């Protein structure tokens, strides 16, 4: 069974009118569900991957608020009939890829029919910021994943690699600074070069393990850090720049929204043929590299 | 797809420090209207040292888990960290990036594993178990590790300063304890052991009954606001139906057959849940004898609570190899879960480890 992207919803928040991560989520998830072939009752799993969200609460899961807000099997009074499990996957900008694999596992194992992954990272005004700017563009994104019984399309291989020795290059934490909480974003000035070094090693290992080459892929979907970063990445990988999907925005790194924004663009603009393959290459704090194959 | 998931190894670490309920209550600016010790049954709980944090608890638990396991860190394909607490340094430092799983990759060789955090309130370790079961059944991984380090008594310290009413929404903060837990899961071809059935879901309309975040007061720290009455009403009522429906008409209806490990919030809550389950089933499936009560000396250690209880009761001889356990899970969210489990020889291996550790301690003392 192939696990495919059934629908995508986005809320780009261009004029920054949306002030909360929950609202960003709703504005992305509602059209996503509406466009999909499924009803809310069919959604057995809601996964939020937002690391930075309203009031930075750590309990309960942010996804339970999303499930309630979207009224997805939220008012059960017993364990019978359709029901939904909500949980958060937190892993910097790798969260969305991790959540796609998690949904694939849950659908393949027969635990759920569909999974909704949402992302809406937003630095909340209730905590002041210090250090580097967060560097990401607050965007809402939602993706509904489902199983295609007869299809060979969808997510194929997931590969993740962690380079713990590079970990100090990227860190964020909150702490009590005099009389209020302050969020610190620490980035090594050479963090993009460190990311690229990790990508080079991670991708080489992935290609070797899978016995494939970059020529086997019709397009590469990178982390949407910046246009310059994608150009450097194409150089390091030795692929033509036009093979890289670039949907970067002026306002900063798309962070966890990289995959849904890029995939939405690919479906609308590239109109991929059945059988075409994309190699998704993401990089995140840790330092982690994720390589995922998606067949259209 | 038909193989059972089994707990290959388990490790628990509780810090040496202790904090009594009496000391906690005595330190409150406004004291609870109830006798907290009488209401919850909690006499004392483990407490981290001044320089000990959530990551340290997780690391120690994982180390113990590997000492008991036949596997090394590089053999693990999937690592999920589920701690609610991100309290990782002085001045209430709370980590956001890298994830706890990525931070632990510095201490253990998880370089080739899938790693991420999946905090899900007190149900975190259980929902990770439910997820891992899917990864194993789907054939995505061969073995996985779930880790959590809960440094929570900091909540109690903030509550002591901030509680302003005798029945205050921060009162539940006075029940928590610190602990780390870790376990490794894999599949077994022995159908008599492992998880026979499990289920988990979220009743999200009650998601705001318990919320934890940062204090907005100048003294800082972490806070948790709980509507204890409402959350218990919903969680206990729905647990009774959830557990009842899974055991009714099965061998699990025989109360001599197994142990119940419920979420460890307080002795009275466990007693009420027990009664509610029995009322739903119509017979005593959950007795005083088969219910594990671990909260008295441990407090509520959140996501680790079920596994700290399992560890403690293996080590005190109450839970033995080949015995059955029913896990009943409730958490804010509101998350509910049930799992039916038969132990392999894990208790015997934990006991061997304990004896070796005791011998090492005696050698060191001599």
On chain B, the residues whose CB falls within 8 A of the CB of A101 are 114, 140
Chain A residue with the nearest C-alpha to that of B111: A162
Pairing between strand B78-81 and B87-89? Answer: unpaired
Pick among B77, B86, B105, B114 to test the A interface (most A CBs inside 10 A): B114
Candidates A79, A106, A162; nearest CB to B111: A162
C-beta atoms of B111 and A163 within 8 A: yes
* C-alpha dist (Å) from residue A256 to A23, A58, A148, B99: 16, 19, 25, 14
Pick among A164, A169, A194, A291 to test the B interface (most B CBs inside 10 A): A164
* DSSP H or E segment with residue A288: strand A288-295
Confidence class for position A124, pLDDT limits 50, 70, 90: low
C-alpha torsion sign, points A224, A227, A228, A230 = positive
C-beta atoms of A85 and B130 within 8 A: yes
C-beta atoms of B84 and A51 within 8 A: no
On chain A, the residues whose CB falls within 8 A of the CB of B103 are 167
DSSP-H helix ranges across chain A: 21-35, 62-69, 95-108, 191-210, 227-237, 258-265
C-beta atoms of A108 and B221 within 8 A: no
Candidates B110, B241, B331; nearest CB to A79: B241
C-beta atoms of B115 and A288 within 8 A: yes
Predicted confidence at residue A133, as pLDDT, reads: 59
**Mean pLDDT score, A268-275:** 93
Let me know: does B177 contact B46? Beta carbons within 8 Å: yes
C-beta atoms of A85 and B127 within 8 A: yes
C-beta atoms of B89 and A86 within 8 A: no
Predicted confidence at residue B348, as pLDDT, reads: 97
On chain A, the residues whose CB falls within 8 A of the CB of B238 are 76-79
Measured between CA atoms, how close is B92 to chain A, in angstroms?
Answer: 5
Distance of CA A111 to the CA centre of its chain: 22
Sequence-distant (6+) residues with CB within 8 A of B333 are: A60, A61, A64, A86, B120, B121, B123, B202, B203, B204, B206, B207
What is residue A90's DSSP assignment?
A: B
Measured between CA atoms, how close is B225 to chain A, in angstroms?
Answer: 10
Asked if pLDDT for residue A126 goes beyond 70, the answer is: no
On chain A, the residues whose CB falls within 8 A of the CB of B99 are 90-92, 285-286
Domains of chain B: residue spans and CATH = 4-188 (3.40.47.10), 194-349 (3.40.47.10)
Domains of chain A: residue spans and CATH = 2-150 (3.40.47.10), 156-295 (3.40.47.10)
Sequence-distant (6+) residues with CB within 8 A of A48 are: A25, A61, A62, A63, A66, A86, A88, A89, A118, A119, A120
Pick among A91, A147, A163 to test the B interface (most B CBs inside 10 A): A91
ipTM of predicted complex: 0.96
Examine residue B30 and say whether the peptide bond preceding it is cis (omega within 30 degrees of 0): no
Q: Distance between CA A55 and CA B158 in Å, rounded? A: 17
pTM > 0.95: yes or no: yes
Predicted confidence at residue B227, as pLDDT, reads: 95
On chain B, the residues whose CB falls within 8 A of the CB of A109 are 1, 133-135, 137-138
- Other CB atoms closer than 10 Å to residue A258's CB: what's the count? 28
Let me know: does A131 contact A184? Beta carbons within 8 Å: yes
Q: Strand order of the sheet with strand A277-284? A: A85-88, A43-48, A114-119, A140-148, A2-11, A154-162, A288-295, A277-284, A219-222
CB within 8 Å of chain A, chain B residues 243-272: 245
What is the full per-residue pLDDT of chain B (366 aa) written as tens digits?
579 999 999 999 999 999 999 999 999 999 998 899 999 999 999 999 999 999 999 999 999 999 999 999 999 999 999 999 999 999 999 999 999 999 999 999 999 999 999 999 999 999 999 999 999 999 999 999 999 999 999 999 999 999 999 889 999 999 999 999 999 999 999 999 999 999 999 999 999 999 999 998 999 999 999 999 999 999 999 999 999 999 999 988 887 879 999 999 999 999 999 999 999 999 999 999 999 999 999 999 999 999 999 999 999 999 999 999 999 999 999 999 999 999 999 999 999 999 998 888 888 887
C-beta atoms of A78 and B130 within 8 A: no
**What are A222-265's pLDDT values in tens digits?**
999 999 999 999 999 999 999 999 998 876 789 999 999 999 99
On chain B, the residues whose CB falls within 8 A of the CB of A72 are 204
C-beta atoms of B93 and A175 within 8 A: yes
Predicted confidence at residue A33, as pLDDT, reads: 98
Is B140 an interface residue toward A (CB < 8 Å)? yes
Is B2 an interface residue toward A (CB < 8 Å)? no
Chain A residue with the nearest C-alpha to that of B225: A59
Pairing between strand B143-150 and A114-119? Answer: unpaired
Candidates A85, A108, A172; nearest CB to B97: A172
Nearest to B204 by CA among A120, A43, A53: A43
**Mean pLDDT score, A268-289:** 96
Crossing angle between the packed helical segments A95-108 and B124-137, to the nearest 10 degrees: 60
C-beta atoms of B335 and A160 within 8 A: no
**DSSP secondary structure of B270-335:** HHHHHHHHHHHHTS-SS-TTTB---HHHH-B-GGGHHHHHHHHHHHTTSS-TT-EEEEEEEETTTE
Candidates A51, A110, A161; nearest CB to B112: A161
C-beta atoms of B333 and A64 within 8 A: yes
Measured between CA atoms, how close is A80 to chain B, in angstroms?
Answer: 9
């Amino acid at each position: 069974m192939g696990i495919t992207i059934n629908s995508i919803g986005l809320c780009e928040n261009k004029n920054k009118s949306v002030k909360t991560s929950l609202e960003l989520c709703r504005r992305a998830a509602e059209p996503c569900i509406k466009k999909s072939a499924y009803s809310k009752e069919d959604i057995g799993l809601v996964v939020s991957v937002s690391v930075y969200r309203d009031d930075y609460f750590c309990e309960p899961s942010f996804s339970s608020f999303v499930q309630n807000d979207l009224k997805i099997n939220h008012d059960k009074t017993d364990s019978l009939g359709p029901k939904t499990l909500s949980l958060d996957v937190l892993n910097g900008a790798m969260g969305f890829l991790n959540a796609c694999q998690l949904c694939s596992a849950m659908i393949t194992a027969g635990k759920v029919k569909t999974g909704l992954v949402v992302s809406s990272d937003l630095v909340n005004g209730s905590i002041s910021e210090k250090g580097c700017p967060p560097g990401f563009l607050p965007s809402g994104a939602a993706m509904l994943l489902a199983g295609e019984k007869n299809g060979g399309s969808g997510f194929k291989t997931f590969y993740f690699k962690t380079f713990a020795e590079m970990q100090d290059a990227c860190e964020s934490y909150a702490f009590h600074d005099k009389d209020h909480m302050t969020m610190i974003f620490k980035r090594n000035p050479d963090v993009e070069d460190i990311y690229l070094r990790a990508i080079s090693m991670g991708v080489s290992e992935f290609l070797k393990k899978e016995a494939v080459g970059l020529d086997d892929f019709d397009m590469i979907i990178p982390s949407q850090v910046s246009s310059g970063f994608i150009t450097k990445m194409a150089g390091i990988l030795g692929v033509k720049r036009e093979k890289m999907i670039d949907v970067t925005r002026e306002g900063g790194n798309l962070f966890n929204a990289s995959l849904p924004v890029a995939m939405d663009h690919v479906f609308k603009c590239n109109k991929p043929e059945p059988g075409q393959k994309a190699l998704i290459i993401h990089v995140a704090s840790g330092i982690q590299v994720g390589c995922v194959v998606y067949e259209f | 797809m038909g193989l059972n998931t089994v707990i290959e190894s388990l490790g628990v670490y509780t810090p040496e420090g202790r904090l009594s309920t009496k000391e906690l209550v005595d330190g409150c600016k406004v004291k609870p209207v109830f006798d907290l010790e009488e209401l919850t049954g909690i006499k004392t709980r483990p407490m981290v040292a001044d320089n000990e944090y959530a990551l340290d608890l997780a690391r120690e638990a994982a180390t113990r888990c590997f000492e008991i396991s036949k596997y090394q860190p590089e053999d693990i394909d999937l690592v999920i960290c589920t701690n609610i607490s991100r309290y990782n340094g002085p001045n209430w430092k709370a980590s956001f990036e890298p994830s706890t799983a990525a931070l632990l990759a510095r201490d253990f060789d998880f370089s080739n594993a899938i790693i991420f955090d999946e905090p899900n309130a007190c149900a975190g370790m259980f929902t990770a178990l439910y997820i891992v079961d899917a990864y194993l059944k789907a054939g995505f991984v061969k073995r996985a590790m779930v880790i959590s380090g809960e440094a929570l008594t900091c909540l109690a310290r903030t509550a002591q300063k901030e509680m302003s009413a005798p029945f205050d929404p921060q009162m539940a903060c006075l029940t928590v304890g610190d602990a780390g837990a870790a376990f490794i899961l894999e599949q077994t071809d022995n159908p008599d052991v492992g998880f026979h059935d499990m289920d988990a879901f979220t009743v999200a309309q009650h998601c705001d009954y318990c919320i934890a975040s940062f204090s907005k007061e100048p003294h800082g720290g972490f806070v948790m606001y709980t509507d204890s009455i409402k959350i218990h009403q919903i969680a206990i009522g729905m647990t009774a139906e959830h557990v009842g429906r899974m055991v009714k008409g099965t061998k699990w209806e025989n109360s001599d057959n197994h142990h119940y490990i419920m979420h460890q919030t307080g002795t009275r809550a466990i007693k009420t849940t027990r009664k509610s389950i029995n009322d739903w089933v119509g017979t005593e499936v959950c007795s005083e004898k088969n219910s594990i009560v671990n909260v008295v000396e441990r407090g509520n250690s959140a996501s680790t609570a079920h596994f700290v209880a399992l560890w403690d009761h293996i080590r005190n001889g109450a839970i033995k190899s080949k015995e059955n356990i029913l896990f009943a899970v409730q958490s804010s969210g509101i998350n509910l879960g049930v799992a039916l489990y038969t132990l392999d020889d894990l208790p015997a291996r934990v006991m061997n480890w304990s004896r070796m550790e005791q011998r090492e301690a005696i050698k060191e003392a001599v």
